[in-house]
């Protein structure tokens, strides 16, 4: 067995600070401000606007700090571009909310709820370990179903070789014996799908609609995202571990600044195919869910306005779908 191990996503770009560590206090400030605006809105929505505005300004700072992490360390086109775009969009949201666009309080409430769901997994070790180990076990099971059986090792070391961060001292790493060196693929919190699940849960729970219908839509969204995420991890792990996507290696290495050709499969399947594909799937899922929960349109309309500057009326179209013959109406709940 080789003395070195190839582990994707752990190369550091020489930053003088850790963006993730610096962003943590901002994350808590954002959560406090957004949840504070939700609490204040119960009494007076006019007072909730300035509280929410402060939250959006801090949210812009949060993404500004995280941008180097996604661009230089993760080398993710989707997440890097998203974090950069999120800075002006957050500031623009703060401006609109301050100047009276009260519909943005629903989006503010959605992100606050999202934080309530996601932050515990981020900050509570046993909870994070539980979801990571469950996803790892289920991906391992899927591998055995299709005829593959790589070792699953802990995230500290294997045979004395350190392979990933010490914040994951449990079995969450797939070990492939490659031709040049062992290759490992580690399931971390970002690989569990809890981020996407919390985003949809925040939006669904934030809108005003009958609880029965919201919980039904939430169950569908969580189920779809969870299953697709398992398949995504399965594809990335096998493509990288077995080196099945070594396409245009010189071009990919130049594009992402890689020094090891064995990383090409990982960057093609994860950073390009999986991440762009996830965006397309989540947009499609949003469209499907709006047909079942038209109240979600208020959030989507505000997001479209922030991006395009044009007002859209999606609610009329989806409410029409809900009242066609044979379709349930909001009153049925």
**Which pLDDT score is estimated for 159?**
43
**Which pLDDT score is estimated for 156?**
55
Query: Between helices 45-68 and 77-98, what is the axis angle to 10°?
Result: 150
Eight-class DSSP state of 18:
-
Measured CA to CA, the distance from residue 55 to residue 57 in angstroms comes to 5
Measured CA to CA, the distance from residue 42 to residue 266 in angstroms comes to 47
Asked, for residue 77, whether it belongs to a domain, the answer is yes
Question: Angle at Cα 206 formed by Cα 311 and Cα 310, nearest 5°?
Answer: 10
Asked, for residue 106, whether it belongs to a domain, the answer is no
Give the residue from 182, 177, 140 showing the smallest Cα distance to 8. Answer: 182
Asked, for residue 192, whether it belongs to a domain, the answer is yes
**Which pLDDT score is estimated for 258?**
85
* Domain termination site, one of 79, 100, 121: 100
Measured CA to CA, the distance from residue 333 to residue 216 in angstroms comes to 11
Does residue 255 share a domain with residue 180? yes
pLDDT tens for each residue of 283-325 = 999 999 999 999 999 999 999 999 998 888 886 766 655 544 4
**Which pLDDT score is estimated for 201?**
96
pLDDT tens for each residue of 256-288 = 888 888 889 999 999 899 989 999 999 999 999
Measured CA to CA, the distance from residue 283 to residue 84 in angstroms comes to 20
Question: How many CA atoms lie within 13 Å of 217's alpha carbon, on the beta-carbon side?
Answer: 26
Does residue 190 share a domain with residue 305? yes
**Which pLDDT score is estimated for 301?**
93
* Domain termination site, one of 75, 100, 125: 100
Asked, for residue 180, whether it belongs to a domain, the answer is yes
Average pLDDT, whole number, for the chain? 84
* Domain termination site, one of 100, 126, 161: 100
Q: Which of 101-105, 121-125, 139-143, 313-317 is the most confident on average?
A: 139-143
Its domain, for residue 94, covers 7-100
**Which pLDDT score is estimated for 237?**
94
Does residue 126 share a domain with residue 262? yes
pLDDT confidence band for 22 (50 / 70 / 90): confident
**Which pLDDT score is estimated for 73?**
81
Per-residue pLDDT at 5 exceeds 80: no
Does residue 183 share a domain with residue 145? yes
The count of structural domains within the chain is 2
Does residue 18 share a domain with residue 150? no
Does residue 132 share a domain with residue 82? no
Does residue 268 share a domain with residue 168? yes
pLDDT confidence band for 16 (50 / 70 / 90): low
Asked, for residue 105, whether it belongs to a domain, the answer is no
Quickly count: other Cβ atoms within 10 Å of residue 46's Cβ. Answer: 11
Give the residue from 191, 169, 176 showing the smallest Cα distance to 244. Answer: 176
Does residue 231 share a domain with residue 135? yes
Measured CA to CA, the distance from residue 46 to residue 303 in angstroms comes to 21
pLDDT confidence band for 155 (50 / 70 / 90): low
Model confidence, pTM: 0.84
Does residue 225 share a domain with residue 315? yes
Using an 8 Å Cβ cutoff, are 107 and 37 in contact?
no
Does residue 72 share a domain with residue 142? no
Asked, for residue 327, whether it belongs to a domain, the answer is no
Asked, for residue 215, whether it belongs to a domain, the answer is yes
Residues 6+ apart with CB under 8 A from 322: 291, 294, 328, 329, 330
pLDDT tens for each residue of 55-111 = 999 999 999 998 888 888 877 888 889 999 999 999 999 999 999 898 999 999 999
Does residue 80 share a domain with residue 207? no
- Please identify every residue annotated as catalytic: 191, 232
Asked, for residue 264, whether it belongs to a domain, the answer is yes
Does residue 180 share a domain with residue 57? no
pLDDT tens for each residue of 38-57 = 898 888 878 889 999 999 99
């Amino acid at each position: 067995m080789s003395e070195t191990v190839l582990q994707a996503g752990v190369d550091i770009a020489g930053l003088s600070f850790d963006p993730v560590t610096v962003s943590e206090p901002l994350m808590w400030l954002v959560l406090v401000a957004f949840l504070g605006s939700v609490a204040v809105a119960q009494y007076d929505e006019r007072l909730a606007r300035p509280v929410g505005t402060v939250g959006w300004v801090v949210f812009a700072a949060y993404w500004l700090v995280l941008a180097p992490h996604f661009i230089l360390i993760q080398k993710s086109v989707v997440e890097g571009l998203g974090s950069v775009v999120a800075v002006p969009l957050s500031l623009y949201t703060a401006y609109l909310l301050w100047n009276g666009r009260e519909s943005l309080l629903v989006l503010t409430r959605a992100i606050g709820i999202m934080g309530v769901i996601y932050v515990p997994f981020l900050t509570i070790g046993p909870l994070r370990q539980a979801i990571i180990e469950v996803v790892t076990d289920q991906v391992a099971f899927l591998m055995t179903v299709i005829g593959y059986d790589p070792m699953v090792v802990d995230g500290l070391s294997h045979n004395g070789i350190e392979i990933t961060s010490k914040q994951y001292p449990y079995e969450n790493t797939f070990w492939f014996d490659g031709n040049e060196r062992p290759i490992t693929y580690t399931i971390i919190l970002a690989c569990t799908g809890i981020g996407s699940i919390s985003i949809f849960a925040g939006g669904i729970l934030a809108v005003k609609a009958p609880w029965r219908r919201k919980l039904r839509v939430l169950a569908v969204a969580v189920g779809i995202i969870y299953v697709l995420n398992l398949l995504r991890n399965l594809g990335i792990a096998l493509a990288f571990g077995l080196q099945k996507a070594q396409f245009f290696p010189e071009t990919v290495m130049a594009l992402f600044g890689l020094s090891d050709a064995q990383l090409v499969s990982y960057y093609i399947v994860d950073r390009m195919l999986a991440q762009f594909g996830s965006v397309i799937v989540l947009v499609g899922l949003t469209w499907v869910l709006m047909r079942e929960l038209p109240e979600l349109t208020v959030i989507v309309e505000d997001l479209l306005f922030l991006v395009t500057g044009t007002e859209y009326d999606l609610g009329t179209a989806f409410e029409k779908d809900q009242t066609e013959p044979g379709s349930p109406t909001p009153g049925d709940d």
